[in-house]
Amino acid sequence: MKIVINGFGRIGRTVLRQVLALPEHQAVEVVRINDIAPLETCAYLFQYDSVFGPYPGQVSSGPDSLTVDGRVIPFSAAPDLSTLDLSDVDVVMECTGKADTVEVAERGLKAGATNVLISGPSAAADITLVIGANEEKLGDFRIVSNGSCTTNALAPLLRGLDDAIGVKSGHMTTIHCYTGSQPMVDAPRGPLERSRAGGVSMVPTTTSATKLVGVVLPQLAGRVSGAAVRVPTISVSAVDLTVTLAEPVEAPFNNRLLEIFRDNPVIGFVKDRVVSTDMRTRPESLVLHLPETLEANAHQVRLFGWYDNEWGFSARMIDMARLMAAR
């Protein structure tokens, strides 16, 4: 499978790390990276990462290429992707965060690529898909949104619970690390609370997962509400879900969770008393923290799970790209 990474930010760089480092991705070839930032800067930020640490290999840059462990990857700086020749490309990973219009989302297709996969919510996509929740709806769609990191964590959990037991209602709070959308010092950012320095306060805010769950799982539209609290940590987030189920809850509910999700590749489990940093680079969409499960009453249960919002989401980008290319 040949992919192009358009936008070499947090997700683009993390995708490349996984493709190069993990043996299960040997069949994935990154044939081009496109980013308008200086190549030397992009190479530096790939080599030295504040979250995942230094890349454990050799990284260098030339006039128009990034070289990693001897592998030369062409690098371009086209503001408009449609000006490039991508006729041999299976999937463009659209990671710029700018594909919120059809004109931008279609640029990879106009360049000749077969598919475009957007690394975030986008109304310009043909469909929003989440592995473990609704990927069976892929069909012939060529511009796909991979949703958000929180939607990837929450939707497979809700799908499994609803299929096995039935979800009547629920509320989710994501405890989310700060991101580039927040300022490091107080500065205007739209919503007043999002204008505050992200590294020093817990910031109550909204999450796109509230809307996207109803898009991905229309059978649950209007049944699950959501909110977010941004916290001053640099990586790994959490889902705190209280859900009312159609069938009575039997304690210990963890036995039922293990039964429902035992064979689900995007849902993991942890039994130890861990903290967020212990979950860094976990590839699952969500890792259920079993000691935090609480049976509230006969039909209500509280579930808690961790997700590496960069590493896990990037892993799903690769999985989705494989599905799209395999058609």
Residue 240 pairs with which residues in a beta bridge?
173, 304
How many angstroms separate the Cα of 238 from the Cα of each of 16, 140, 148, 202, 243? 24, 33, 14, 14, 16
Q: Is 271 helix (H, G, I), strand (E, B) or coil?
A: coil
Check residue 177 and report its DSSP letter. Answer: E
How many angstroms separate the Cα of 317 from the Cα of each of 165, 210, 323? 29, 21, 10
How many angstroms separate the Cα of 231 from the Cα of each of 77, 275, 310? 34, 14, 16
- Count H helices, E strands: the chain? 8, 17
E strand or H helix at 315? helix 311-325
How many angstroms separate the Cα of 295 from the Cα of each of 103, 133, 275, 302, 316? 48, 24, 22, 6, 30
**Would you say 5 and 30 are in contact if contact means Cβ atoms under 8 Å apart?**
yes
Catalytic residue list: 149
How many residues does the structure list for the chain?
Answer: 327
